[in-house]
Amino acid sequence: MRTRRRLSYLPTMSCRKRQKTSPDKTSDCFDSLPDDLVLSILCKLSSTATSPSDFISVLITCKRLNSLGLHSLVLSKASHKTFSVKAKNWCDSLHRFLKHCADAGNIEACYTLGLIRFYCLQNRGSGAALMAKAAMNSHAPALYSLAVIQFNGSGGTKNDKDLRAGVALCARAAFLGHIDALRELGHCLQDGYGVKQNVTEGRRFLVQANVRELAAVLSAGNNKRPWLTWSHQPVPHPRLRSETGSGCPLLSDYGCNVPAPEVHPASQFMSEWFDIRGGFPSAGMRLCSQSGCGRPETRRHEFRRCSVCGVVNYCSRACQALDWKFRHKAECAPVERWLDDDDEDVAGENDGGDDGVMMVDS
């Protein structure tokens, strides 16, 4: 539909050009369209764009579409995939575009630019403010990202950790159905981390996280291959698929595997941003080992590490739980250990509802 609609303008454009060169002024179909109508079409286009090029190709068509395309009404409705730009293409004009969208009230743009400023450009104040603006509009990923910042005291010192604020933000994101937040909250309740311990309630949130994962797969209509399998083997993260040559199943906490959720473009951007820089945010700092996350440390030893191997580091319990299922379970300890050994380090695996291994401060 979008392509047809966009293409339908192309003849009118050529008609317009002809008008300029032709001495006899024929009627110009495009110019006769009222701005309101063009704006409403552009709003529909920006809200359903599946890539930046969907939108940019319209902006570069002519002056009028460029001007109306950058109208605040159109920018406020742009879909998050309109911003799914590659980190290698980052430039001032892209930064300005995201800022225009955020100023126009686009909540996804607030979140995306907030994450980029906070973590990539290290502009903590404005980054957090943009995420807060999105969070105040009930943007679940922004609420969860602010929770991670509070849990870690990101951008500040260890004393700036505010576990209770982290749990409160996480609870709001979980209420909105954010899977990572549900999982994080579940682990916080099970461990008594930032909240009074309540193992049963924690388990309930972990069940909800799994149910929502499954619902996301079903609604995506992924029926090209068996989407639900049982496996006691760890499964790789989608980003590692080409390296391992196997599928991408997951349903995390119960040994039942479904395909992994889509990585948010903002997280994808951060992963690429630091990949380009050699995988390190700066000297002595590390990235979250969950490869779909992209969050870096903002100070040394900010993230917690795996208590068994001490090799991997995570920004959150949710990332740790996810990475354990995808990848780290196979790497953390010799296979015979986690199959045969029921000691406390791996105790959670057998009860069907834990992340399998503890984290400790770095």
- Identity of the amino acid at 220: A
Cβ proximity of 100 and 284 under 8 Å = no
The residue (of 125 and 310) whose beta carbon lies closer to Zn ion is 310
Scored b (16 or more CB within 10 A) or e, 319-358 reads bbbbbbbbbbbeebbeeeebeeeeeebbebbeeebbbbbb
The residue (of 108 and 323) whose beta carbon lies closer to Zn ion is 323
Least Å distance, CB 30 to Zn ion, is 48
The residues binding Zn ion (CB under 5 A) are: 288, 290, 293, 295, 306, 308-309, 315, 319, 332
Least Å distance, CB 308 to Zn ion, is 4
Taking the C-alpha atoms of residue 282 and residue 175, their distance in angstroms, rounded to an integer, is 35
Distance of CA 157 to the CA centre of its chain: 25
Least Å distance, CB 315 to Zn ion, is 3
Least Å distance, CB 306 to Zn ion, is 3
The residue (of 260 and 288) whose beta carbon lies closer to Zn ion is 288
Please state the length of the chain: 362
The residue (of 117 and 286) whose beta carbon lies closer to Zn ion is 286
Find all residues with CB under 8 Å of 129, minimum gap 6, and list them. Answer: 114
CA dist list (Å): 256 to 214, 249, 251: 10, 9, 5
The residue (of 102 and 319) whose beta carbon lies closer to Zn ion is 319
